[in-house]
A and B are shown apart, each in its own frame.
Chain A
Amino acid sequence: QVQLVESGGGVVQPGRSLSLSCAASGFTFSRQGMHWVRQAPGKGLEWVAVIWYDGSKKYYVDSVKGRFTISRDNSKNTLSLQMNGLTAEDTAVYYCARDSSYGAARIDHWGQGTLVTVSS
């Protein structure tokens, strides 16, 4: 069965960096687009970024452009999110999610999420 396990969350000071990882298993990772979606405490879901199955295309929500970088290692079945210049508005649970297509069409599986708290 599809498993997505995020790691790397924690407490970080404003302006600092943090890197999230997602270990994927139970499917052919190199054939699927992958997303990061976040949810601030008590708020709704916000799509953050997507990377195509082969890493050839990457798209971001405007609020993280230039600060966040999504990447993948198909040899290790791993998805990553490098987050720089963090602010309090980035505090959220970050979900790794699989797209059922090679790019971005629909998320069909989600990880359990990892909490990122930006605070001094």
Chain B
Amino acid sequence: GQQVMQIPQYQHVQEGEDFTTYCNSSTTLSNIQWYKQRPGGHPVFLIQLVKSGEVKKQKRLTFQFGEAKKNSSLHITATQTTDVGTYFCAGNNAGNMLTFGGGTRLMVKP
């Protein structure tokens, strides 16, 4: 079945440093979604990418979808303590099922 892998599993950064998490799917995706889960919270939808090579920005967050629609990345510029949480990518391949990656837990030192 479809597998979605994310690296790194954990990332500690100093406040103000940049952060990137990478997502790879074993199969070509129809779209990829990104979610943020705060400690003790539930996944909250951030964005969806659909087109090959698509790049979207939300303030300090930049999301990319690979040309082959099998990989994606999330980059945060100048991290803040409010960015703390686990970032999940989730792939969809035309059905109704989202397959989540293992997540990258971001910790930010003030």
Q: A and B: partners?
A: no
**Chain A interface (Cβ < 8 Å from any Cβ of B):** none
